Chain A
Amino acid sequence: MTLAAAAPQGFLSPTGVEVAFVLVGLVTFAAAIVTVTTKQLVHAALWLVVALGGLAAEYLLLTAEFVAWVQVLIYVGSVVVLLLFGLMLTKAPIGRSPDADSGNRWAALTVAVAAAATLVWVVVDAFRTQWIDLDAPQGTTSVTGAMLFQHWVLPFEALSVLLLAALVGAIVLSRKSEEPSDERVRDAKAHARDDAEAAADKEQR
Chain B
Amino acid sequence: MATLLIAEHNGTELAPATLSALTAAQQIGSDITVLVAGANVKAVADAAAQCSGVGKVLLAEGDSLAYDLAENLSELILSVAGEYSHIMAPSNSVSKDAMPRVAALLDVGQLSDITAILSDAQFQRPIYAGNAIATVTSNDAVKVITVRAAAFDKAAATGGSAAVETLAAPADSGLSSWVNDELTQSERPELTAAERIVSGGRGVGSGENFALLEALADKLGAAVGASRAAVDSGFVPNDMQVGQTGKIVAPSLYMAFGISGAIQHLAGMKDSKVIVAVNKDEEAPIFQVADYGLVGDLFDVLPELTEKL
B is bound to A: no
Identify the B interface with A (CB < 8 A).
Answer: none
